[in-house]
Amino acid sequence: MLRFRPKPGSDLKTPPKMSQIFPAMKSNKIYHAPLQYSCRPLVLIALAACSWGDVTFAQDPAAPASPAPGSSPAPTDTPAPAVPGAAKDTAPAPDTAPPTTPSAKEKPSSPFRTGESSRAADAAKKSPFAFNTGDTDAPQKVRKLTDRDADAEASAAPRTGGDGSDNRIVAPGFYGHGPQVITPGQGQYARPKYRYGFSVGVGYDDNPDQITNANLGPLAKPRKGTGFTYLNGHWDAQWLKPRTVFTVNLEVGGDFYFDRPGNSSDANARLALLYVNKIDPRSQFTANASFAYLSQPDYSNLYASSSIVGGDYFTGSTKFDYTYRWTRVFQTVTSASVNLLKYVNDSPTKLSNSYWSFMFGNEFRFIASPRITWVAEGRYELDRYMSNSSLDSESAYILGGMDWIVSRRMNATFRTGASIRSFDSGGSNTAPYTEVSLNYMTGRHSTLSINGRYGFEQSSAVGDKNLSYRLGLLYQQAFTTRISGNVGFNFIHTGYEPRTGTKSSTDVYNVNLGAQYRIDRHFSLGLRYTYTLQSSSTGLQDFDRNRILFTGQYEY
């Protein structure tokens, strides 16, 4: 016989009537007579269970069945999964079951829903950066995406938070280089705030002065290989805030040769600065700066001098950009750049000249899709030479191109158009101009970057037309957590077209191989090999060079 027994402490003294639980039965609109009599035993059982448990009759279909009255609940390995929008049951256990005390990590749950979910009251878990929020415990709408759509959303349409902000910062790079994507907490931006270290090494260079192979007479310096020691120190820091990024990288070092005619040492120093400020959701200011004091040509720099007759030189580039988004699909980037190439001792023959370069530009960017942005750009450049003012010139660039996010691993930029150079002393030249860059994450632990440029080079005489192809490639691979390597290749083809005389050309091939073994988080060993080959149509500037260096590094 089924007997109603109210729960101790409950206000329910008598069992509820059937019409109170099933109003439809009162009006007799749903249940017909045959069905009422056949279902009455089941209804009475449900009524008794409901009254005994003092809960509502809405049961989670995914939850296990309720225990029979008077029996202990069956043990389970894991609690029932929480239902979004549903509450955890806080009703105490039946008086026939032994009381249990929930642990701090697990709370008792019921197969019945009695109210709102406790998760709704929890604060959303946000990123430490205010403009990348939205990663909360609340369920998100899931929709099926193709690989192409997923790549586009992951790369072009980055994650945004509830305020519509973005964790990533896209900073324009120097002319000829693609934009730099800054994601705080990832990649190099996961490093400590401050980092410093020093390196020591020994090596051998078979042509430190880049002596040409041509026989230039008894007064020419002889080619002589020598060993050398290598000392280098570096320091870098980064300050990352929700809307501001500032990084500093400083490196100072030198090579000290054992048996080198003339100058027995080469000094090198580099300084790189990056500042980005997201002023508001529409505008952003970026400042890029790179300075270097070098004794050898830097073939990886698309705008650095490749001359071997200038000796030690100082080079610097600064670029300022202001980005403003006018509409959802249109934005502009206004830029100004100052560049400097200063030789410590200018060549008496004026084959190399120190100069200032000022450039102003403006990009009109049309966002056609999450992957493709079409760009129309104009630039204006002023070149001012320090020791030969007759070479002062002005150049105008009219360019068009695109920024293309191929996939979540690959992105590319492309600019092409025409350039016009006019000399202040008279005469002008025109030539095509092209810039291209590609960044590709070939694997989880490998990257490939390519930069190319075709356009005017430094002039040595008024009216001369010097055009060059420059190509730089860098591949980096982490084989294990301790072993990594890299391969670099640089190619420069320069064609000289004097206003009077014979045309000539020069090709430079530069290959770099490197490997590193990390002993622990502070110490590592490195091995580098560099090969340089220069050939010219006249044969007067041909030379080759091999350089090998073994280093030990401490970093903190």
pLDDT (tens digit per residue) in 485-543: 999 999 999 998 887 778 889 999 999 999 999 999 899 999 999 999 999 888 888 88
In which residue ranges of the chain is pLDDT below 50? 1-2, 24-38, 52-165
pLDDT of residue 309: 57
pLDDT of residue 109: 45
How far, CA to CA in Å, does 480 sit from each of 309, 445, 477, 515, 517?
A: 42, 9, 9, 12, 9
Distance CA(290)–CA(307), nearest Å, equals 20
Burial class (CB in 10 A: 0-12, 13-18, 19+), 6: middle
pLDDT of residue 365: 95
| CA atoms in the 13 A half-sphere facing the CB of 154 | 13
Quick one: how far is CA 524 from the chain centroid?
A: 25
pLDDT of residue 296: 82
pLDDT of residue 220: 63
Taking the whole predicted model, whether its pTM rises above 0.75 is answered as no
Grouping H, G, I as helix, E, B as strand and the rest as coil, residue 471 is strand
Token digits for 493? 């083809």
Distance CA(459)–CA(421), nearest Å, equals 11
Q: What angle do CA 538, 540, 546 make, to 5 degrees?
A: 120
Q: Quick check: 140 and 93 in contact, CB under 8 A? A: no
pLDDT of residue 500: 78
CATH, domain 169-555, list 1.10.287, 2.60.40, 2.40.160, 1.25.60: 2.40.160
Q: Which residue in 314, 388, 297 sits closest to 348, CA to CA?
A: 388
pLDDT of residue 17: 56
Q: What angle do CA 448, 450, 453 make, to 5 degrees?
A: 175
Domain residues of the chain, as ranges? 1-65, 169-555
> How many residues are given for the chain?
556
pLDDT of residue 39: 52
pLDDT of residue 343: 85
pLDDT of residue 395: 93
Grouping H, G, I as helix, E, B as strand and the rest as coil, residue 36 is helix
Q: Quick check: 394 and 420 in contact, CB under 8 A? A: no
